């Protein structure tokens, strides 16, 4: 595990098997019932990493590699918080944009005959209230980054901006592109220098390199996410699972990041510590507070908050915030308890049909909190 002198977390997981016996048993049961072939989990509480555990294997074959505590996973939509929202927080602090600034000012190609497009702001993209739809299969007609971004920029609004909350990958594709324009570099370059490096998150990245001789594990040491017979016609391993992000070259605002659970726990601790060394405390509070508009939304800026029935289970406090990823990843952070829980899986193996994680994940979170209280 990467644990340097300037880590925010002290290690204290010598008693984890006893303390989290029930929580780990739930994950093992999930592996047996083929909810996911393997999992890596990290629990940090009051500044200590009290659990870091790998369970199961890369696939359902007994011959496949065992998951280790340090195994790197495709984070899917956790990218939206650990890279894109984090980049937003950095650039917002530097005064590079305003939350209520129109996105068209930075992405003029988003403008069109629908006058409402000019009302869409950075805040709305972050809070998933822009009026853009959840998803579009742009990869079916686009061949590269430029084509996909152009297509995303022309996706029709399906609602009046700021009238309803609808989780939108399209919104985050556009948000990522806008941040790249503001920063004058790719999200990959910006996030490595401004987010991962200051946290000593050596293994967090977009597009994992395939050269183990330089200290990074080879792609074979990342669990495969799917045997993709519909689009790529091969096993997807060590490259982004999401097809739209894949067409964009593996670097996008909505998906593309890879990391081990310990790196995610380190990022979560930075948030729990009031942002140091990445953000100022007021920025963390601004982005993690539940929005008041549209009415009834559970969204913060980039983050989600618990709303029953929540994937965070029943115990996380009202001030908590978190996010899920399609491949079977999640992060939940509770500032009241000074707690973060990271769970990484490849539940999409071999064919993205398994849905049992939706029952296992909240039960796992409940068991973790029962174990510490």
For 50, the enclosing helix (H) or strand (E) is strand 48-56
CA distance 150 to 43: 40
Strand partners of residue 74 = 258
In a domain, 20, yes or no: yes
Would the pLDDT of 249 be above 90?
A: yes
Look at residue 12 in the predicted model and tell me its pLDDT: 83
CA distance 266 to 329: 16
Mean pLDDT over 113-121 rounds to 97
Look at residue 11 in the predicted model and tell me its pLDDT: 80
Would the pLDDT of 173 be above 70?
A: yes
In a domain, 47, yes or no: yes
CA distances from 90 to 85, 95, 102, 175, 264 (A): 9, 9, 19, 14, 18
Look at residue 212 in the predicted model and tell me its pLDDT: 65
Look at residue 210 in the predicted model and tell me its pLDDT: 79
Look at residue 320 in the predicted model and tell me its pLDDT: 98
CA distance 365 to 343: 9
Would the pLDDT of 305 be above 90?
A: yes
Q: Which residues contact 135 (CB under 8 A, 6 or more apart)?
A: 168, 169, 170
What is the number of domains present in the chain?
1
Which domain covers residue 288, as residue numbers? 10-77+200-212+257-372
In a domain, 37, yes or no: yes
- Range in 4-13, 78-87, 129-138, 218-227 the model is least confident about: 4-13
**Does residue 233 contact residue 243 with C-beta atoms inside 8 Å?**
no
In a domain, 124, yes or no: no
In a domain, 126, yes or no: no
Mean pLDDT over 109-122 rounds to 97
In a domain, 62, yes or no: yes
Nearest CA to 267 among 56, 91, 87? Answer: 87
Look at residue 4 in the predicted model and tell me its pLDDT: 57
Tens of pLDDT, residue by residue over 321-358, are: 999 999 999 999 999 999 999 999 999 999 999 999 99
Can you give the pTM of this predicted structure?
0.96
In a domain, 106, yes or no: no
Mean pLDDT over 81-90 rounds to 98
Mean pLDDT over 26-49 rounds to 98
pLDDT cut 90: percent of the chain above it: 92
Would the pLDDT of 290 be above 80?
A: yes
Q: Give the strands of the sheet with 72-74, arranged side by side.
A: 72-74, 257-260, 205-206
pLDDT cut 70: percent of the chain above it: 97
In a domain, 21, yes or no: yes
Look at residue 286 in the predicted model and tell me its pLDDT: 98
Strand partners of residue 55 = 39
Look at residue 213 in the predicted model and tell me its pLDDT: 67
CATH at residue 358: 3.40.710.10
Look at residue 3 in the predicted model and tell me its pLDDT: 56
Look at residue 337 in the predicted model and tell me its pLDDT: 98
pLDDT grade, residue 274 (50/70/90)?
very high
CA distances from 255 to 145, 207, 260, 324, 359 (A): 13, 11, 15, 11, 24
Mean pLDDT over 226-249 rounds to 98
């Amino acid at each position: 595990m990467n644990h340097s002198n300037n880590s925010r977390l002290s290690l204290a997981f010598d008693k984890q098997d006893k303390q989290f016996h029930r929580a780990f048993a739930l994950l093992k049961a999930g592996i047996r019932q083929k909810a996911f072939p393997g999992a890596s989990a990290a629990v940090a509480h009051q500044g200590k990493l009290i659990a870091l555990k790998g369970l199961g294997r890369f696939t359902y074959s007994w011959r496949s590699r065992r998951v280790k505590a340090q195994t790197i996973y495709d984070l899917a939509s956790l990218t939206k918080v650990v890279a894109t929202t984090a980049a937003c927080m950095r650039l917002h602090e530097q005064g590079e944009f305003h939350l209520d600034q129109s996105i068209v000012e930075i992405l003029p190609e988003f403008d069109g005959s629908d006058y409402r497009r000019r009302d869409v702001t950075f805040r709305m993209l972050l809070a998933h209230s822009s009026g853009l739809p959840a998803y579009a299969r742009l990869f079916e007609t686009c061949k590269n980054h430029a084509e996909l971004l152009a297509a995303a920029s022309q996706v029709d609004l399906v609602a009046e901006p700021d009238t309803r909350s609808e989780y939108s990958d399209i919104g985050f594709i556009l948000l990522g592109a806008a941040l790249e324009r503001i920063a004058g570099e790719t999200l990959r370059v910006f996030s490595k220098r401004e987010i991962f490096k200051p946290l000593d998150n050596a293994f967090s990245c977009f597009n994992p390199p395939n050269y183990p001789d330089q200290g990074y594990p080879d792609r074979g040491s990342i669990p495969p996410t799917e045997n993709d017979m519909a689009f790529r016609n091969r096993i997807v391993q060590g490259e982004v699972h999401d097809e739209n992000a894949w067409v964009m070259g593996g670097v996008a605002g909505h998906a593309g990041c890879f990391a081990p659970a310990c790196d995610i726990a380190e990022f979560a601790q930075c948030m729990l510590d009031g942002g140091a060394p990445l953000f100022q405390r007021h920025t963390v509070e601004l982005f993690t507070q539940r929005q008041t508009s549209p009415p009834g939304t559970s969204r913060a800026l980039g983050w989600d908050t618990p709303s029953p029935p929540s994937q965070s289970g029943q115990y996380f406090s009202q001030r908590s915030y978190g996010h899920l990823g399609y491949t079977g990843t999640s992060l939940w952070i509770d500032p009241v308890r000074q707690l973060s829980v990271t769970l990484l899986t490849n539940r999409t193996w071999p064919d993205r049909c398994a849905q049992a994680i939706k029952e296992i994940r909240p039960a796992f979170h409940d068991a973790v909190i029962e174990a510490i209280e």
